[in-house]
Chains A and B, each alone.
Chain A
């Protein structure tokens, strides 16, 4: 058995099973650090043993059992250390063989464990950055180095963030449990926000290591699936998963070979991921049938309308405008109103959209927001007002900071003068 193959299988298993195994370990020992240590030891054992004796039939079960053994070993070492120097040793206190048996039983990895873990990682007493880092580290099994690269942070900064979060969990005694019914909606919203933030970090930003960013999207979708599995009746959870799948379905179409953004309108719809679209559409339909709408469901419904249009011209803009109006009722943010203005510009003509945008710009909330000027420029371009469009693109360029977006705006500006 080659060491490389053993390593590949071990890494894949580790990544896939990390959340499930560590969630059970933390419940058993009550410590994130000791659980992590046990898992790392088990991983090292797997590498050594699998290289020599071949890969077991069920690598996941092997690592689960090994990590539980390491946890017991660790507890035993700890006890010996503590009792060194003490004359009296209480042998009855030694973990007996049947401890291992009960651990193996626990290794079944009840979904409850992962639920506890995700609620603890996303506890509102931790700040958002810490919630994200901890969720990726424990449930996702990403290394600190991978998380640091994804967020363009120095590794020590990220490591420090994790240490602080784990210390607060322990010292302030953040409970390792599923919140009671009365605080569940609020707490679940916090979990959803963390998952969506992880997704967007991978999806929206185009700088940094693209492989790691891809991994963030995949991880967010995995977590979304987990939450859906744990709360199959919650419409917003379904909405969130649908929203991520529908966005993710366009990942191959939205950036060209040179890394430049391609707008929805110009994307090659043939390379959209059909499987993700089908799954996303089914989820949206199910969620909306629960008649308990929320922001994720509405955004997913908007993404679904784009996904269903075979060509840009077939996009159901009036329906999209209506959905943005619904969204604005739940969250009257200027950015949502801007999106509604775009949709109205596309359905009722650029002039109507421009009027709405101007009222947003005048109210001031968005006057320094480059997307307002980019969106205005686009509608001006469509109504063939080239001078005004160029002016708006220049204004947007002056405000945009993201290199990919700046390149896009520059291209548009050149097209106008060409």
Chain B
């Protein structure tokens, strides 16, 4: 079953990270992706641009209400995602422990959500 791993971390921290720190984290991501690819379970993994590039669109009375910024202002922001095939939630939790969510000084958080599998059309 496929699970999506949503990485939430603090953008401010990421901005103040040193080049070495950033490189170390990137290397950790690469290690996870390599391992998942080797096992044939990696579907996708991608960082996102910062939330100041976000645009939110909400349909209201048939018209699109377009707002600058992310869906919600939160302490930690969605920074990237992984899409991995897992045996079960415990397997997914093991992957989540490996995916870096770190930013300077503090760990972020990984939210695991199973994808809803729809019957083939």
The answer to whether B89 and A172 touch across the interface, beta carbons within 8 angstroms, is yes
Whether B68 sits at the interface, judged by CB under 8 Å, is: no
Whether A81 sits at the interface, judged by CB under 8 Å, is: no
* Other-chain contact of B114, A123, A171, A175, A179 (Cβ < 8 Å): A171
Whether A356 sits at the interface, judged by CB under 8 Å, is: no
- A173–B112 alpha-carbon span in the complex (Å): 12
Closest chain A residue to B93, Cβ basis: A125
- A171–B89 alpha-carbon span in the complex (Å): 10
- A123–B93 alpha-carbon span in the complex (Å): 12
Inter-chain contacts of A177 with B (CB < 8 A): 90
The answer to whether A172 and B114 touch across the interface, beta carbons within 8 angstroms, is yes
- A39–B88 alpha-carbon span in the complex (Å): 26
Inter-chain contacts of A172 with B (CB < 8 A): 89, 112, 114
- A88–B75 alpha-carbon span in the complex (Å): 57
Whole-angstrom distance between the Cβ of B36 and the nearest chain A Cβ: 18
- A90–B100 alpha-carbon span in the complex (Å): 50
Judged by DSSP, the binding face of A is loop
Whether B1 sits at the interface, judged by CB under 8 Å, is: yes
Inter-chain contacts of A173 with B (CB < 8 A): 1, 88-89, 114
Closest chain A residue to B1, Cβ basis: A173
Chain B residues touching A, range: under 10
Inter-chain contacts of B112 with A (CB < 8 A): 172
- A174–B88 alpha-carbon span in the complex (Å): 6
- A173–B116 alpha-carbon span in the complex (Å): 12
Q: C-beta contact mask, A123-144 vs B, less than 8 Å → 1, else 0?
A: 1010000000000000000000
Whole-angstrom distance between the Cβ of B6 and the nearest chain A Cβ: 14
- A175–B92 alpha-carbon span in the complex (Å): 11
Closest chain B residue to A169, Cβ basis: B89
* Residues B67-121 near A (CB distance < 8 A): 87-91, 93, 112, 114
Whole-angstrom distance between the Cβ of B111 and the nearest chain A Cβ: 12
Inter-chain contacts of B114 with A (CB < 8 A): 171-173
Whole-angstrom distance between the Cβ of B79 and the nearest chain A Cβ: 22
Given contacts A171-B114, A172-B114, A173-B1, contact A179 B90 (CB under 8 A): yes
- A125–B112 alpha-carbon span in the complex (Å): 10
Whole-angstrom distance between the Cβ of B62 and the nearest chain A Cβ: 34
Inter-chain contacts of B1 with A (CB < 8 A): 173
Closest chain B residue to A171, Cβ basis: B114
- A173–B85 alpha-carbon span in the complex (Å): 12
Whole-angstrom distance between the Cβ of A125 and the nearest chain B Cβ: 6
- A125–B92 alpha-carbon span in the complex (Å): 11
Whole-angstrom distance between the Cβ of B113 and the nearest chain A Cβ: 8
Whole-angstrom distance between the Cβ of A32 and the nearest chain B Cβ: 15
- A189–B88 alpha-carbon span in the complex (Å): 21
Whole-angstrom distance between the Cβ of B86 and the nearest chain A Cβ: 8
- A123–B88 alpha-carbon span in the complex (Å): 13
Q: C-beta contact mask, B1-34 vs A, less than 8 Å → 1, else 0?
A: 1000000000000000000000000000000000
- A235–B112 alpha-carbon span in the complex (Å): 34
Whole-angstrom distance between the Cβ of B121 and the nearest chain A Cβ: 19
- A174–B89 alpha-carbon span in the complex (Å): 5
Inter-chain contacts of A125 with B (CB < 8 A): 89, 93
Inter-chain contacts of B90 with A (CB < 8 A): 174-175, 177, 179, 183
- A179–B88 alpha-carbon span in the complex (Å): 12
Inter-chain contacts of A171 with B (CB < 8 A): 114
* Residues A159-173 near B (CB distance < 8 A): 171-173
User: Which A residues are closer than 8 A to B by beta carbons?
Assistant: 123, 125, 171-175, 177, 179, 183
A-B contact pairs, 6 of them (CB 8 A): A123-B89, A125-B93, A172-B112, A173-B114, A175-B89, A183-B90
User: Which B residues are closer than 8 A to A by beta carbons?
Assistant: 1, 87-91, 93, 112, 114
Contacts A171-B114, A172-B114 aside, 4 further interface pairs with beta carbons under 8 A come to A125-B93, A172-B112, A173-B89, A174-B88
